[in-house]
Chain A
């Protein structure tokens, strides 16, 4: 069974923009208005962060937005309530939930899958869910609810492991651009990153690829699109939302600045 993630890649092919923001940030009820304004401004995929107290893979910007969102009262129940009916307003754009395993486990993984599917969510990114645990415990459940897992690949991921990851999903591969947490600058020597992207490209994998971590403006987005079907922007969008009283407008301006 196809889902919206595959359809989005088939339809556009190249230059897809996946934007990440933290649910409940900058204010609790910005979630749905942000999804609408981001898609209207041209974002192709929407990745909603489920805030966690201790986001190990994230840099300071997403840490701060997570803390603020939790203080605003965001939690899994509130998020699923907010997403109710989102598919009437945003029928096509794939929606992914990104977060850490512990809040999902406490909510109940099956409950989580059921609620996510009911809301029209297409994919799930849980960076601290080990591959073996996914296969042993959750793969059947994800399939039953037509939810696609998205797995990360880094410059250190071994080729056979990349092949295995590629077999385990029908969505896209999340290429982490280099060492570091989200929102960091690229500090790699010239050519190192390109060689890594080209090495992955040459593997002729089943899934399309999106490059994330350290992508934050038009130049870095376009550069990433040379090596993959698209890219993911998170921290830079969050920064654009900081201190604004009209988050949807600020989000739309940001997306336009990347795509114009």
Chain B
């Protein structure tokens, strides 16, 4: 069966990447979701409720802002898709609003989630509060320390935050614990995965729920530039949900250059990096065959990035396919350059970005974009959660 970039095969493959490599304990849940998700998403009643919540609760459409001072600096036209203005401060809520409605239709009463930077955890806790559902969020112990405000936000919203104490105690391990919870609670629980990772149908489900980002971009670009199609779309990639949403409606438009920005940490070859497209090879993580950072024995290696949302040893199978096929260009940005980009956007445009998002901004100088080009950067999240980190690295930033 042929794959397009947008649509995986029936078994969830984008090229050689994807699938559902899950133990039998998860099979009934994942299969139930696989059989129903497309019908539920297409149901007019679902769409009406989803669209209404996106408008009245999330605050969509988010603006597309022409960043004139940033444009002048890079001698091109830079537009920022303001996902940082979504309720809860990042694009993550687009997905959680959709999945909580899906979970209700599947008759689930208990919600679990993993979180890295805490943005997906907050977005999940938020929709659970809205719908009166029990919410348990798994978060690596290290991430709980470096993203404290989000831990408190989740608790304030009524969620229980459970520390993942195994492995590197970051996003990968939080995901392991969430999967183990689902194995232990197979009947009443829905797992709201926060990125385009995991077994099929999650990568496709999350991409579809985030696709609203590029759907709006096209309309807004037409209005502002006279063309629906920009020259470049740039987004950061950990698992890759904001990039999947920003790329989605441009995937089949070869004229649009897609740029995925990974976290290089201390440097791609430093041994402390999360640049999966460079360092990874095909393997299986969290139920999906994708590019994966691993040693020669197939043991998953510990990624590193200063940003809690990007230090994941895999990428979504869609992104692995985009990297493998050359449809997207992958750039990696080191911690320090991301921190400098935080200062740059703050000073030039009065917008403090999340540390994850700053990686995408730091790639602006490497695109090769000219004065006639239109560059859209997906401003996936705001920096409030990172203030403690920004304070710690004030010498680099200021």
Contacts and interface: CB of A to CB of B under 8 A. Distances in A.
B23 A57 contact: yes
A154 B176 contact: no
Contacts of B185: 179
A102 B294 contact: yes
A54 B297 contact: no
Contacts of A221: none
A101 B23 CA distance: 11
B19 A156 contact: no
Contacts of A130: 19-22
Contacts of B52: none
B176 A56 contact: yes
Contacts of B294: 102, 106
B346 to A, nearest CB: 37
A129 B180 CA distance: 17
Interface in B158-179: 166-167, 172, 176, 179
A63 B11 CA distance: 30
Interface residues of A, number: 39
A37 interface: no
Interface in B181-209: 183-187
Contacts of B292: 102
Contacts of A128: 21-23, 284, 287
A42 interface: no
Contact of A57 (B25, B28, B297): B25
Given A54-B172, A54-B300, A184-B184, A152 B23 contact: yes
A102 B180 contact: no
A75 B294 CA distance: 14
Contact of B28 (A102, A106, A127, A156): A156
Given A52-B299, A53-B167, A106-B298, A152 B24 contact: yes
B183 A57 contact: yes
Contacts of B28: 154, 156-158
A210 B134 CA distance: 35
A46 B22 CA distance: 24
B287 to A, nearest CB: 7
Given A152-B25, A157-B24, A102 B283 contact: yes
A105 B284 contact: yes
Interface in B13-37: 19-25, 27-28
Nearest to B189: A179
Contacts, number: 99
Contacts of B298: 52, 102-107
A172 interface: no
B296 interface: yes
Contacts of B23: 56-57, 127-128, 152
A102 B184 CA distance: 23
Interface string A71-89: 0000110000000000000
From A104, A129, A156, A158, name the one whose CB has the most chain B CB atoms within 10 angstroms.
Answer: A156
Nearest to A181: B180
Contact of A151 (B24, B172, B183): B24
Interface in A102-122: 102-107
Contact of A102 (B11, B20, B285): B285
A151 to B, nearest CB: 7
A56 B180 contact: yes
A176 B22 contact: no
A89 B390 CA distance: 62
A133 interface: yes
Nearest to A56: B179
Interface string A115-143: 00000000000011110110000000000
B184 A54 contact: no
A75 B299 CA distance: 9
Interface string A144-160: 00000001111011100
A121 B187 CA distance: 36
Nearest to A127: B23
A161 B24 CA distance: 10
Contact of A179 (B19, B183, B284): B183
A180 interface: yes
Interface of A: 52-54, 56-57, 59-60, 63, 67, 70, 75-76, 100-107, 127-130, 132-133, 151-154, 156-158, 161, 176, 179-181, 184
7 contacts: A56-B180, A56-B286, A57-B25, A102-B285, A102-B294, A105-B283, A179-B187
Q: Name the 10 nearest CB pairs between A and B, nearest first.
A: A106-B298, A103-B298, A127-B23, A152-B24, A53-B299, A156-B28, A180-B184, A75-B297, A102-B298, A102-B284
